[in-house]
Structure 1
Amino acid sequence: MATAYTGAISRASQPSLLVRFLDKYFYFAMSLFILVLVTGMFSTTVPDKLFHPKIEPPLIVWFHGVVFYGWVLFFILQTGLARLRKTRLHRTLGWFGLALGIAVFFLGVSTTIAMHRFEFNTLHQGNLALISTSVPLFDMLCFAPAFTLAIAFRKKLEYHRRLMYIASCILTAAAWGRIPESILPGFWFYAGVDFLVILGATRDLIVNRKIHRVYMLALPLLAAGQFTVAQISFSAWWLRAAKAILL
């Protein structure tokens, strides 16, 4: 009788299938989702704008595309290695990730200036080019500290993996921005980025019964920054600043 009771208690205390899945596979599953998201959304614009353009865009766009997509694939690889407990290989490849992250940032900024200068001067998109310059620059401004902190906390797993995840979520803004405006009008595409971060916080709440401080700090900061960008992008002073950057 005691044995049966003990067995029942043991089974009741075991985590559910959902908790076990989220605990073990969440970050790897989300890396695959980000790949699908990025591939799917960019496939709606890249063929016409990059492969068959009426006017050739700056060459740097190609390098940016390769490095950006390389980051997504690298994120999948690293989350997969972490899941397989290939710690030594994961850490060794992390130095490549450091170089890749630095390239993402500098190419992100450089491509933003080059592409929006092309749109303003060559395609004559006027204020649209000036207004939209704020978005990728803001994304890089958010990516840089998340990535830097992830490197700084590389020996603290619970911080490192959440910061790397957030850095990767930030880079999906361009993909969410390709969703038709009838679905996500204006700057509401940033809700997609926040949704991914919220999924990470929800995972913590389900698995650990509390949200990690990384999400507690990152999510409101991201939301506040996104709101600010949405407000200033149409302001006269930003249009002047963006024009000075692009000319």
Structure 2
Amino acid sequence: MVHAKLPSPTIHVHAIAATLWLITLIVQIGLVSARKVKLHMTVGLWGFSLAAAWVVIAMAAALDALRRNFSPPGSGLDPLTFFIVPVTGAGLFAWFAGWSYLARRTPQAHKRLIMIATIAILDAAVGRFPYTVWPSLTGLKQSLVLFVLLAAIMVYDFITLKRIHRATWIPALALIVVHLTRIPFGQTHLWMRFAAMCQG
């Protein structure tokens, strides 16, 4: 499986963009820890450009998967229904990353929003765990892993602020609601028609 060819160049580009995002996040955390704020802000311009590009690439990859009638093995989902997963993931990421950009002068909000934006796109990575760790880690169980990460941020808020920061609870609530409702909505006639139109 490690040496398997990916079905589309778009998937390669998507994987590269996601990897670059994670590397950039790690570098940015390191720069802040080293108190190199000016360099952090300069790299941040690259980071937000990458975030915008990632959203476009993610949507291209989602459309590519839809047109190949792809649905994760074992998910039992119609490809038209599964299409809602990458679409909502990209949408949440765009919202949180965009909000983080607007809040870049407010460190407490900025850092929380960037972390939750990253959590919003981790379900694909979590979905790869079954190959080596937990064979039944699919569907809602993947979402629960993300919910645990959100809970960790909330605990951090309680410890450091004695409350849950607005930049934590609003995106966290949005992510949880989307994850719990997107598959049922993705099975509606309305969504299926929309996805079929996108499929062409």
For the aligned pair, the TM-score class normalised by the smaller chain equals 0.7 to 0.9
Structure 2 counterpart of 1:59, one-letter code: P
Shift of 1:226: 1.4
RMSD: 1.9
Q: Which of 158, 161, 177 does residue 127 from structure 2 map onto?
A: 177
1:76-155 equivalences under 5 Å are: 76-119=26-69, 128-155=78-105
> How far apart, in 2, do the equivalents of 1:76 and 1:127 lie?
34
- SS of the equivalent of 2:56 reads helix
1:20 alignment counterpart: none
1:1-247 correspondence to structure 2 within 5 Å = 47=2, 51-53=3-5, 57-119=7-69, 128-180=78-130, 183-247=136-200
More displaced 10-residue stretch of structure 1: 74-83 or 234-243: 234-243
Cα separation, 1, equivalents of 2:69 and 2:178: 25
The aligned amino acid for 2:181 is T
- Offset from partner CA, 1:90-146 (integer Å, 9 cap, x none): 0011110111001111001111101221235xxxxx963222111010001100110
2:67 is paired with a residue of what secondary structure? Answer: helix
Identity of aligned residues (%): 25
What are the ranges of 5 or more consecutive residues in structure 1 without an aligned counterpart? 1-44, 121-125
CA deviations on 1:168-223 (whole Å, 9 max, x unpaired) are 11110111223448543433311222211111111111222222111121222211
Query: How many residues are aligned here?
Result: 192
Paired residues of 2:116 and 2:172 also in contact (CA < 8 A): no
Aligned partners of 1:204 and 1:212 also within 8 Å: yes
Distance in structure 2 (CA, Å) of the matches to 1:139 and 1:127: 17
The DSSP-based 3-state class of the residue aligned with 2:69 is helix
Instruction: Return the index of the structure with the highest Cα Rg.
Output: 1
Letter in 2 for 1:140: A
Partner residue, 2:73: none
Please state which structure has a larger fraction of its residues in helix: 1
Q: TM-score, with normalisation over the residues of structure 2?
A: 0.88
Q: CA deviation at 1:244?
A: 1.5
